[in-house]
Structure 1
Amino acid sequence: MITAQNVSKNLQDLRKQTPLVHNITNYVVMNNTANALLSIGASPVMAHAPEEMEAMAGIASSLVINIGTLSSEWIEGMLIAGKTARQRKIPIVLDPVGAGATGFRTQTCHKIIKECKPTVIRGNASEIMALIRSDVQTKGVDSTESSENAVELAKTLSRETGAVVSVSGPVDFITNGENILTIKNDIPIMPKVTGMGCTASAITGAVAAACPNPLEAAATAMAIMAVAGEMTLPLAKGPGTFQSHFLDALYNMSDKEIAEYLKL
């Protein structure tokens, strides 16, 4: 169970703690996700060189691994950081961007899951389903499935990996293999804006650093995304203005907006 009051408290705790979120993320979204983390009250660092992974993961409050622009060297860094974070028992969020599009991506996700044991796996429906079923393919990095279709496989993935699984879509589903939390804010323009899913993963890492319950943390992050989207819709004229107003919404979000807009 999660309530608007839980979401507000977790956001307040995040802002008080200003956690350092170590992001190994893709070139496309580095600026977007760094700005989103700053706007919400966290402190971002973007680093991927294998030579500094142990040190960087050693001072971070959480780790976000995003496979959007993969290379062998980046995978090496991800595994070093993931193992260090696991030893330190800080939250690890895996965003399996484009899993199912190529064998390289899917196999990399399975390797990270096996060796790093992520706390939360957050992706769109196709990505989550592809981690369980080899016959599911994504359209590049876009989902070909609805989030509703992914619920049962998300529960299976959670039970098999021990991670909370967060499935984004018009309706978001977050599960620990038994319980399912649902967020029903549908923001149709979000898929037209680059990096919204990556932003959700980064914010999940920030909230998880401040909230010890992974299921609640993952749901809170998606709730923050949903409320910010609702706040932004009346102001945006298209994807470009949506992106800038979305950052302002993260920065200005208060208990009032969470209570008004959140659809649980």
Structure 2
Amino acid sequence: MDNYDWIKKILQKIKERKPLIHHITNYVAMNDSANVTLAIGALPIMALEEVELDDITNMASAVLLNIGTLKQDEINHMLLAGKYANFKNIPLILDPVGAGASKFRTRTAKNLLKTLKISIIKGNSFEISTLIDLPAEGIGVDAISSNKNYANIAKEAAKKYKSIVLVTGEKDFVSDGERVFEIEGGSFLMSKVTGCGCMLGSIVACFAAIERENLLIASLGASIFFKSVGKLAEQRSTLPGSFRNSLIDSAYLISNDEEKLNAIWREKNDPVC
């Protein structure tokens, strides 16, 4: 992969097709998720009422389930929307936010994976480790896996659930159960702003809406793209509050300014397989 023309083509198709991304997501980052989806040219919708889930999911090009502010009735909505997505063969992305932080979240994430055909699982090392019953340490949603072999965590989770797995962190790891890609980049400030992972989940869904037949490419492209967004955002702002806004601005700039896109990607290393 000596250039990123393939990512440019995905971004161009997103702007041309304007895929509708159905989010059942957490209240903390809902607005940022919607804005970053719009910034790269897709259309967000957040439908939580059971009576409209069928209609909304049928219109969607991808469905994102995020358990960050989980409630019991929301689980039923996720199961229904997921079943509709599976029936229509629509990419279904799971962000198991905080899996491992409580028995409720862990049980819910595993039940969604057992009941639904999840196309892509995106989470940090703690969350993904929890899903494959590996030990983890720390408190809350920012805990980390005790196993530092994140590439292996991604690979084993992908094998177990027959999904593409994206393990996020200082480095991201993307696996289809056989291959593992390591992606560097981003900014340390991404760990200082809530919702960065949720924004990445939205971008993964946008890319999956375009690359439905190659979800490994969709996940890899979304990771590379968002790492680049973080890097540009840090160049534009070095404080957490303004950095949050800069992330959305940078997603828009990289998506629409090919010169800026080329300049920042010239400085990146290719993903390591």
Letter of the structure 1 residue corresponding to residue 208 of structure 2: A
Select 1:256's aligned residue among 238, 251, 262: 262
Q: Are residue 114 (structure 1) and residue 114 (structure 2) matched?
A: yes
1:150 Cα deviation after fit: 2.6
Residue identity over aligned pairs, in percent, reads 37
Letter of the structure 1 residue corresponding to residue 248 of structure 2: L
| Partner-residue secondary structure (3-state), 1:233 | helix
Mapping for residues 208-219 of structure 1, pairs under 5 Å: 208-212=208-212, 213-219=214-220
| Partner-residue secondary structure (3-state), 2:224 | helix
Whole-angstrom distance in 1 between the partners of 2:177 and 2:253 = 34
TM-score (norm. length: structure 2): 0.92
Contact between 2:228 and 2:265, CA under 8 Å: does it hold in 1?
no
1:3 Cα deviation after fit: 4.8
CA RMSD in angstroms comes to 1.7
Q: Residue in 2 aligned with 1:22?
A: 22
Unpaired stretches in structure 1, ≥5 consecutive residues: none
Whole-angstrom distance in 2 between the partners of 1:46 and 1:247 = 18
Whole-angstrom distance in 2 between the partners of 1:173 and 1:134 = 17
| Partner-residue secondary structure (3-state), 2:182 | strand
Change (3 A) 1:67 1:173: same
Contact between 2:154 and 2:180, CA under 8 Å: does it hold in 1?
no
Q: Residue in 2 aligned with 1:161?
A: 161
More deviation, 219-228/128-137: 128-137
Change (3 A) 1:5 1:155: same
Whole-angstrom distance in 2 between the partners of 1:173 and 1:3 = 19
Q: Which aligned segments of 4 or more residues in structure 1 are displaced greater than 4 angstroms? A: none
Contact between 1:174 and 1:218, CA under 8 Å: does it hold in 2?
yes
Change (3 A) 1:257 1:52: farther
Q: Residue in 1 aligned with 2:100?
A: 100
More deviation, 48-57/113-122: 48-57
Q: Residue in 2 aligned with 1:244?
A: 245
Change (3 A) 1:220 1:104: same
Whole-angstrom distance in 2 between the partners of 1:156 and 1:22 = 28
Q: Residue in 2 aligned with 1:9?
A: 9
Unpaired stretches in structure 2, ≥5 consecutive residues: none
Q: Are residue 78 (structure 1) and residue 78 (structure 2) matched?
A: yes
Q: Residue in 2 aligned with 1:193?
A: 193
Q: Are residue 225 (structure 1) and residue 226 (structure 2) matched?
A: yes
Letter of the structure 2 residue corresponding to residue 244 of structure 1: N
More deviation, 224-233/30-39: 224-233
1:190 Cα deviation after fit: 0.3
Deviation per CA, 1:211-260, whole angstroms, max 9, x where unpaired?
13100100111111111111111211311111111111111113424532
Q: Residue in 2 aligned with 1:55?
A: 55
| Partner-residue secondary structure (3-state), 1:122 | strand
Aligned length: 264
Q: Residue in 2 aligned with 1:124?
A: 124
Contact between 1:126 and 1:150, CA under 8 Å: does it hold in 2?
no
Whole-angstrom distance in 2 between the partners of 1:109 and 1:51 = 23
Whole-angstrom distance in 2 between the partners of 1:119 and 1:46 = 20
More deviation, 226-235/49-58: 49-58
Q: Are residue 234 (structure 1) and residue 240 (structure 2) matched?
A: no
Q: Residue in 1 aligned with 2:177?
A: 177
1:186 Cα deviation after fit: 4.2
Whole-angstrom distance in 2 between the partners of 1:46 and 1:242 = 25
More deviation, 86-95/133-142: 133-142
| Partner-residue secondary structure (3-state), 2:22 | strand
